[in-house]
Chain A
Amino acid sequence: MSLFEFLSQYWPRLLSGTGVTVAQFLLGAALTVGLALVFGLMKMSPNRMIKGSAVTYIELFRGTSLLVQLYWIFFVLPLFGVTLEKFTAGWVAIGLNAGAYGAELVRGGIMSVPKGQWEAATAINMSGARRMWRIILPQALVNMLPAWGNLMVEILKGTALVSLISVTDLMFQAKQINASTYMSAQIFGTALVIYYILARFLLTPFMRWLEGFMARKMGRA
């Protein structure tokens, strides 16, 4: 069977797998951004309790691997009465894991904003929250976007792990097709190329565009 015949037979399953992968990525990325923002800000809090809980979250999820977290959430959490459906368990684990890395990026981005900006905002009588939201965060965002591009690719790659709890993503479909056809080079090769296209020709250009867009909005380009 040539590669073309192979693809014409299996493209619907690969396409549906890609759809699930993209859905996992989008949900996981959204959760990552939310958690990163919350815990990144919490880690900068002067309050010891708030800071401590952020540090605990970050170290816990950066110190263990995504696969361990995924299994724990899927197999152990139900014993505590929280049963997540496998699709949900997948993107929640990805978001929790990447959120810990993202929180460090948020903190780094905020710390990279010059001190004068804080002082100027205080001088014109802005409240703490207003200063953060209107002055500091937009500048921090521009500074940290390049690092977020890398994290987004890591999130996309991380979604492959959800296949291990039987979420029918691209990796899962590739494994299934491989098990029934033994055409490993064709199927795994195709899956590699699909992941590569998603990362290199969709995700990375989008993040680059976003960098440029934000820089223009901030009047830096």
Chain B
Amino acid sequence: MFDWLLKDEWFPKFDWRWDYAWEILPRLLEATLNTLIAAAAGYLIALVLGLVFALAQRSDSRILTFVVREFVEFVRSTPLLLQIFFIFYVGPQFGITLSPWISGMIAIGLHYSCYLSEVYRGGLDSVPKGQWEAATALNMTTMQTYKRLIIPQAIPSAIPGMGNYLVGIFKDTPMLSVIGVAELIHTANSIGSETWRYLEAYTLVGVIFLALSLPAAGLIRAFENLVRRKLGM
């Protein structure tokens, strides 16, 4: 009944080789560092750009609000992979050549800034209106009000969302392999094509992702509690 399970040609490839896994581990760890750098850089761009988008959607100008709102929706509903290709290949058509790293960072930063702008928006909306009125009563400018009152109070409720997208960015960096950024999947692909052994490389990549993203999720929860306590909430 289970004869089909025991075909010979499967078994030669089936063996997990520890010595081989050890051999490729240094290369994968080096790629892990690249992955982390890519994630961190993309996240920084997203944090700043996301705030710009969030504030633009709160501006008094109807046109600005509409344009930014539609742009955010567009980016959020199209695949990151396609956006990476778009940014990498369209630049040269107009004489702007971007390196894989730069275009990858821009694509990831831009994609996640649109998600983060929604997180910020939620946070900013959660600040009671009385805070604005109090600031007006004290003759503060809009800039001062945002900087000293609104943004600090908006941060605690935005932290869970911000943390989730940090892990999200980390898990989306493998897409950068398609334009040749030497992150984890890219390295695993080249290892696989050199030796025709995919089992160890792809499995190790999965293990590395798990080993980093599960503790990260726990740390973010701890950080969230810490901030809440510091702000006396």
Interface residues of A (CB under 8 A from B): 59-60, 63-69, 71-72, 75-76, 79-81, 153, 156-161, 163-164, 171, 174-175, 178, 182-185, 188-189, 191-192, 195-196, 199-200, 204
Chain B interface (Cβ within 8 Å of chain A)?
Answer: 5, 7, 10, 13-14, 73-74, 76-83, 85-86, 89-90, 92-94, 171-175, 177-178, 184-185, 188, 192, 198-199, 202-203, 205-206, 209-210, 213-214
* CA gap between A189 and B78 in the complex, in Å: 11
Residues of chain B within 8 A of A76, CB atoms compared: 198-199, 202-203
Known interface pairs A67-B175, A195-B79; A72-B209 also in contact (CB < 8 Å): no
* List of 10 A-B pairs having minimum Cβ-Cβ separation, nearest first: A160-B79, A199-B77, A184-B89, A65-B171, A75-B198, A67-B174, A188-B86, A157-B79, A64-B209, A195-B78
**What distance in Å separates the Cβ of A167 from its nearest Cβ neighbour in chain B?**
13
Contact partners of B79 in chain A: CB under 8 A: 157-161, 171, 195
Chain A: interface secondary structure? helix
With A76-B202, A184-B93, A192-B82 as contacts: A65 and B210 at CB distance below 8 Å? no
User: What is the predominant secondary structure among interface residues of chain B facing chain A?
Assistant: helix
A-B pairs with beta carbons under 8 A, tally: 119
Complex CA gap A73/B210 in Å reads: 16
Q: Which residues of B have CB within 8 Å of A160? A: 79-82
Complex formed: what's the CA distance from A154 to B61 in Å? 31
Closest to A75 in B: B198
Docked-complex contact A192 and B86, CB < 8 angstroms: yes
Write out the residue numbers on chain B whose beta carbons fall within 8 Å of the beta carbon of A192: 74, 78, 82-83, 86
Q: Give me 25 A-to-B residue pairs in the complex whose CB atoms sit less than 8 angstroms apart, sorted by A's number.
A: A63-B209, A64-B171, A64-B206, A64-B209, A64-B210, A72-B202, A75-B198, A79-B14, A80-B10, A80-B14, A81-B7, A157-B79, A161-B81, A164-B81, A174-B85, A178-B85, A185-B93, A188-B86, A189-B86, A192-B78, A195-B77, A196-B77, A196-B78, A199-B78, A200-B74
Contact of B77 among A68, A71, A153, A191 (CB under 8 A): A153
Contact A157 B80 (CB under 8 A): yes
Contact residues in B for A60 (Cβ distance below 8 Å): 210
Report B119 CB to chain A, min CB distance, Å.
Answer: 13
* Complex Cα spacing A69 to B206, Å: 8
A188 and B14 in contact (CB under 8 A), knowing A64-B210, A175-B85, A196-B78? no
Identify which of B13, B76, B81, B206 contacts A68 (C-beta below 8 A): B206
| B81 partner residues in chain A, CB cutoff 8 A | 160-161, 163-164, 171
Do A161 and B175 touch (CB < 8 A)? Answer: yes
Contacting residues, chain A, for B93 (C-beta < 8 A): 182-185
CB pair A59 B77 closer than 8 Å:
no
A161→B209 CA distance, assembly (Å): 18
* Alpha-carbon separation in the docked complex, A191 to B76 (Å): 15
B110 to chain A, nearest CB (A): 13
Nearest opposing residue in chain B for A159, CB measure: B79
Residues of B within 8 A of A183 (CB): 93
Q: Is the CB of A79 within 8 A of B10?
A: yes
Q: Let me know if A63 and B213 touch, CB within 8 A.
A: yes
Chain B residue numbers with a CB within 8 Å of A185 are 90, 93-94
Rounded to whole angstroms, the CA-CA distance of A190 and B192 in the bound complex is: 34
